[in-house]
Chains A and B, each alone.
Chain A
């Protein structure tokens, strides 16, 4: 049966690259599985639109952060599998670090309890 997803969070542009790279850290997979992994892992809060996913995958491939090759899927169909390259791995580390700094900064502003309480 179809179930309605909980109200979803709009994915900020730029974060999609980070989520794709992080997903591929677990191993090579195809576009559909990447989208489903992000949706499932975020408890259905994030849904990657196909219209954003494939341009992003091809952009990351052009930047040589990921590489693609054709393989047979679990169901025996030919699928384009993406894998993280060494450059992509380095980029992921850099992006994760920036994201932590950014989210920490936003949290400081959104939760100024310590500063206001003192």
Chain B
């Protein structure tokens, strides 16, 4: 819960973060320009080359801002899912009284699938997100799952 409020506070400090992002990108530009100058470009050319490499500054700022909100929402959803799973597991445990059986029930419902490790998604360059409880979600090795009957 403390983590939730910390994230919420972090999210609300938007104007400060906007200013920091601008300063951070300005620093990046200066570093890049200095590197170009060290490689032999004139000051103006170096600055222009750095600016060109940085790309669309407005788009970059928008993309970065989007991560502030999106990551918060994503993590809130993960925390909620995790909490609900824990409640469900506790209920199963109380009902069945057997933690191993309880884990088996979860496995049947696909809770022990590996989240975020999708080679197909990697190959296509799609987003590769990792669930917060990835260690819980690690799958059995392929050879173990595909043993002949």
Contact = CB atoms under 8 A, between A and B. Distances in A.
A9 interface: no
A8 interface: no
Contacts of A64: 3
B63 A31 contact: no
A109 B119 CA distance: 13
A94 B135 contact: yes
A61 B127 CA distance: 17
B58 to A, nearest CB: 11
B21 interface: yes
Contacts of A107: none
A74 to B, nearest CB: 10
Contacts of A15: 122, 128
B27 A54 contact: no
Interface string B50-65: 0001111001100110
A26 interface: no
Interface string A46-62: 00011100111011001
Given A63-B75, A80-B24, A12 B122 contact: yes
A98 B31 contact: no
A31 B7 contact: no
Size band of the interface chain A makes with B: 35 or more
A98 B117 CA distance: 8
Contacts, number: 104
B55 A51 contact: yes
Contacts of B40: 1-2
Interface in B23-72: 23-25, 27-28, 30-32, 34-36, 39-41, 53-56, 59-60, 63-64, 66-68, 70-72
B21 to A, nearest CB: 7
Given A54-B24, A80-B24, 6 more contacts: A2-B40, A50-B60, A54-B63, A55-B64, A58-B21, A73-B31
Interface of B: 3, 7, 10, 20-21, 23-25, 27-28, 30-32, 34-36, 39-41, 53-56, 59-60, 63-64, 66-68, 70-72, 75, 117, 119, 121-123, 125-130, 134-135, 142
Interface of A: 1-2, 10, 12-15, 17, 30-33, 36, 49-51, 54-56, 58-59, 62-64, 70, 73, 75, 77-80, 91, 94-95, 98, 102, 105-106
